[in-house]
Amino acid sequence: MIEGFFVRSRSMHMSYTVGTYLAERLSQIGLKHHFAVAGDYNLVLLDQLLKNPSCEQVYCCNELNCGFAAEGYARANGAAAAVVTFNVGAFSALNAVGGANAENLPVILISGSPNSNDYGSGHILHHTIGIPDYDYQLEIAKKLTCAAVSITSAHDAPEKIDHVIRTALREKKPGYIEIACNVAGQPCAVPGPISAVIGHVSSDPATLQAAIAAVAAFVDAHEKPAVLIGSKTRASEAEAASIKFADALGCVVATMGAAKSFFPEDHPSYVGTFWGSASSPGVREIFDWTDSIIAIAPIFNDYSTEGWTAWPKGPNVALLDKDVVKVSDRSFDNIALSDVLEGLVAYYAEKPKKDATVVEFGRIHSTSDRIDADIAYEVAETKLTRADIQSAVQGLVTPETTIFAETGDSWFNVMRMKLPRGARVELEMQWGHIGWSVPATFGYAVGSPERRHILMVGDGSFQLTAQEVAQMTRRKLPVIIFLINNAGYTIEVEIHDGPYNNIKNWDYAAVVEAFNAQDGKGRGLRVTTSAELAEAVNVAVANTEGPTLIECVIPRDDCTSELISWGRHVASANARPPAQ
């Protein structure tokens, strides 16, 4: 409503350029920021974007980080934009765009591109591979995004921009827009109502009814169903509906590793993580005992199935995905997951609860919960352990907290945490680019300053993208970083060890001080005992004017037992000999 008024009132008084049109659309879809690295192909565009005060420009140290910062922002705000220069910038950002695709996040990558007169002219331009053909970046972007356009004329810019933003928002996938450097400032049409871009697409009514009936028949035919929540539940906008579905059905609910925090952990039906041998206590057993699984928006890959050893599939699994349902050899598409779940909620409203798995879980679940066991640690002058770090993070988690857990043992540490309702965990398990978490936490923190942000990152991962801590310092973001210095790539050690898993040690705490230069308020602390860790956590909580990095020094082989067994399964899957 407000946005519509904003468009009308502005459009009566001001004219638009391609760049201000784009800025208007970005702010209309709810972006208060966009991320950028400057380059001569995008400078005019950046000027145009700056003219819109409601969508602030936020700078990054490099384009890979810029893409990941946008990816993190999209996790907090539902969408994001990153602006980069041609080839040298965009190619780095495209890695993060691949990540946004894998993680189902609508990140719009915007690249400045050559002067429109240079297309087809035979001119060779800087930053390119030295051939007078400038389509190859667009062609690559088409593979990694759901919609990609090149704008070389202001005339068709509005519909091209709208097409990319609309498709990205609907599909929850990244989009790509390149704008010729001499076109960004050209006059352009006034934006129409934003509802044309963000309008809701309805489920096909007949298919929806048929899908609901098929799932209901599947559930009715089984005595002991269990619900498994997958990581695409958020992208499917089905988190609220899946809670209602769990309430109506009354059976156990587990989350997959990548979906940690996508279902409230204080819900009476919630049992923990299902992840093969890395499952929470009792969860693998209850999934062995169940006679049917309703899998909601899962991603079953080699990692999430623990090297294909814990892969729910076959006739006893109903798949309720983002816009397709597959059950009992029937398939229904063009339906929204939340509509399917709401239909099932109505169907089960008056029926007796299917709670056999809840009763059984109560029987098999050990009372010696390893999470509680781990939190009861003693603050002492003894050598710091992995469990101490896990406990320190657990102690900081509030309903307003988001924990970013980087690829590595941080995944398995965070699986053990107990989350109050409202707390979130962010993981990048499908793409799994180490170093993702530093810029992604930065972007997320820009987009949700009201929350507490905690980052758990290994030393190996940190070395890829460390410089983005400087942007946290620049914007005074009080992110608390637990950097686990275990002297190497421990997760890789558990999969397959060799000299390539040893890394050069850094003085990580000093790195933060270096980023401070003359004006930063970041803190860097190095701890080797649990007592020092407790003290450092107090310093971190008190530092509200910048990030605090706590370098936690632990032995190389101090990792979770889940990592060890998961790593063994993944190694076996990797080692399968070629089929004859």
Ligand X SMILES: Cc1ncc(C[n+]2csc(CCOP(=O)(O)OP(=O)(O)O)c2C)c(N)n1
Residues in the site for ligand X, rule: CB under 6 A? Answer: 406-410, 432-434, 458-461, 484, 486, 489-492
Nearest distance from C-beta of residue 89 to ligand X, angstroms: 18
Judged by CB, which is closer to ligand X: 154, or 484?
Answer: 484
Judged by CB, which is closer to ligand X: 113, or 407?
Answer: 407
Q: Are 139 and 129 in contact (CB under 8 A)?
A: no
Nearest distance from C-beta of residue 65 to ligand X, angstroms: 13
Judged by CB, which is closer to ligand X: 27, or 407?
Answer: 407
Task: Enumerate residues 6+ apart whose C-beta is below 8 A from 322.
Answer: 104, 172, 232, 235, 236, 297, 337
Judged by CB, which is closer to ligand X: 30, or 98?
Answer: 98
Judged by CB, which is closer to ligand X: 101, or 269?
Answer: 101
The identity of residue 105, as a single letter, is L
Residue 560 CA to residue 173 CA, distance in Å, equals 33
Nearest distance from C-beta of residue 489 to ligand X, angstroms: 3
Nearest distance from C-beta of residue 88 to ligand X, angstroms: 19
Judged by CB, which is closer to ligand X: 385, or 407?
Answer: 407
Judged by CB, which is closer to ligand X: 335, or 552?
Answer: 552
What H or E segment, with its residue span, contains residue 34?
Answer: strand 33-36
Judged on CB neighbours under 10 Å (0-12, 13-18, 19+), 505 is: exposed
Strands 330-333 and 324-327: antiparallel
Judged by CB, which is closer to ligand X: 242, or 407?
Answer: 407
Residue 275 CA to residue 301 CA, distance in Å, equals 11
Residue 318 CA to residue 295 CA, distance in Å, equals 6
Nearest distance from C-beta of residue 87 to ligand X, angstroms: 20
Task: Enumerate residues 6+ apart whose C-beta is below 8 A from 182.
Answer: 44, 115, 116, 117
Q: What are phi and psi of 286, to 5 degrees?
A: -70, -30
Residue 120 Rama label (left phi>0; alpha psi -120 to 50; beta): left
What H or E segment, with its residue span, contains residue 180?
Answer: strand 175-180
Judged by CB, which is closer to ligand X: 191, or 458?
Answer: 458
Nearest distance from C-beta of residue 347 to ligand X, angstroms: 43
Nearest distance from C-beta of residue 461 to ligand X, angstroms: 3
Judged by CB, which is closer to ligand X: 71, or 459?
Answer: 459
Q: Are 129 and 89 in contact (CB under 8 A)?
A: no
Q: Are 378 and 530 in contact (CB under 8 A)?
A: yes
CB neighbours of residue 579 within 10 Å: 4
Q: Is 282 helix (H, G, I), strand (E, B) or coil?
A: coil
Judged by CB, which is closer to ligand X: 208, or 527?
Answer: 527
Residue nearest to ligand X (CB): 458
Task: Enumerate residues 6+ apart whose C-beta is below 8 A from 421.
Answer: 264, 265, 266, 399
Nearest distance from C-beta of residue 431 to ligand X, angstroms: 9
Nearest distance from C-beta of residue 96 to ligand X, angstroms: 11
Nearest distance from C-beta of residue 547 to ligand X, angstroms: 18
Torsion of CA 201, 206, 212, 214, to 10 degrees: -130
Residue 78 Rama label (left phi>0; alpha psi -120 to 50; beta): left
Q: Are 226 and 246 in contact (CB under 8 A)?
A: no
Strands 324-327 and 317-320: antiparallel
Task: Enumerate residues 6+ apart whose C-beta is below 8 A from 579.
Answer: none
Nearest distance from C-beta of residue 12 to ligand X, angstroms: 49
Judged by CB, which is closer to ligand X: 21, or 489?
Answer: 489
Judged by CB, which is closer to ligand X: 354, or 386?
Answer: 386
Nearest distance from C-beta of residue 353 to ligand X, angstroms: 41
Nearest distance from C-beta of residue 483 to ligand X, angstroms: 9
Residue 246 Rama label (left phi>0; alpha psi -120 to 50; beta): alpha
